[in-house]
Homo-oligomer: A and B are copies of this chain.
Amino acid sequence: MGKTFFEELNNESATGVAYKNLNLKKSILGYFANVSDATIADLAKELNISVPKMTAVLNDLIQDGIVQDYGKVESKSGRKPNLFGLLPESAFFIGVDINQRYINVALSDLQKNLVKVAEKISYKLENNKESLETLCQLINTFIKELPIPKDKILGIGINISGRVNYATGYSYSFFNFSEEPLSKIIESKVGIKVFLENDSRAMAFGEFSSGIVKGEKDVLFLNIDYGIGLGILINGQLYYGKSGYSGEFGHIPLFDNEILCHCGKKGCLETEASGWALARMVKQKMQEGSSSILFEEKGEGEEIQMEDVIKAANNDDVLAIELIAEIGGNIGRGIALLINIFNPELVILGGSLAQTGEYIRLPIKSAINKYSLSLVNNDTQLRLSQLGKHAGIIGACLLVRKRLLSLH
């Protein structure tokens, strides 16, 4: 049986001319994927290849069914050049974004188009085999209902919170009950190659590839939710660290308090700057007898959730706004530290709590100004996430795409 184009593309044994041609093909696909569609002249100039050679290779790629001639394109005068780019329907990728109470699943084509999106599918994330089994079933169901043949789906990207080693496929915070890496287990149940990724990192990649990032290369993405995660982009590349555990920002020892964190330590940033901390503060305020629309709607024994506080703030509830400002101040102190260390061009606020918009952005901004060196923080823009709750799912799809195209 002949190899598929993508297997051929990653053929390690090629040497000499064959190797150079493969490399050139990768560069062309990389240009299409990362930069834009292009004319023969563009590509020839950019990749330092003569026009006749480029023409030949492009024709090859069209033969391979991976590149498309988009036809004539505007130019100042004279004969108009043809534009070439990836053939969208030549390959597909699935992204899965796992949350505590639901999952999001989406299908993307080769040109980043989201072909199908299924959001907020009910699912309870628990650290046991049944929960894992259910997850696989949900993914299989999604695949079965797709209007495309399964073998066109080249890979599945799965976001999961906690420590994930994407290179080995092990997850340490969830579903870690087997010798085999989690990615292999899911792979065997679904029948498609699986790539795991930390949730905040995937979101960061989503924002970077098709969100708020416009050319910035050194970018920090904060996933402010029940916990607080960090995705780091350095020189346009996701940063992993030795084993992929980078970005454990929620557990830096920034406070001198006695609040015990999930991680077992005290004084973590998360204890004073997260959705979890927000819920704790609200509860305390209620006990102290503060007034708020938050306390009126809830029944006996019903717990107030982070989502309720976000909704209340967006409805101008003073207590909610005050508490979010307090949380924001603490997060801002954490970000100030990141700015001193990274001198980033851009910091993106994402995750559920970023949905409160300026209510959280402004106190964060103030704290940054207070706690970081001004020469450094003058360099740094602070923007709200553009993709919002879609960041994870988009990032998951695009990360698989990136891996399978062996883009750098």
Contacts and interface: CB of A to CB of B under 8 A. Distances in A.
Interface in A301-352: 333, 336-338, 340-345
A56 to B, nearest CB: 17
Nearest to A14: B48
A43 to B, nearest CB: 14
Contacts of A232: 341
Contact of A376 (B245, B253, B336, B375): B245
B265 A341 contact: no
Interface string A13-52: 0011001100000000000000000000000000010100
Contact of A343 (B243, B371, B376): B243
Given A163-B375, A375-B172, A343 B245 contact: yes
Contacts of A235: 237
A242 B379 contact: yes
A212 to B, nearest CB: 16
A249 interface: yes
Copies assembled? 2
Nearest to A254: B254
A45 B121 CA distance: 51
A365 to B, nearest CB: 15
A248 interface: yes
Nearest to A45: B15
B336 A48 contact: no
Interface of A: 15-16, 19-20, 48, 50, 163, 172, 218, 230, 232, 234-235, 237, 239-249, 251-254, 256, 263, 265, 333, 336-338, 340-345, 370-373, 375-376, 379-380
18 contacts: A15-B48, A16-B50, A19-B48, A163-B375, A234-B239, A242-B344, A242-B379, A245-B376, A248-B340, A248-B376, A249-B340, A249-B341, A251-B373, A252-B337, A252-B340, A252-B341, A253-B336, A265-B371
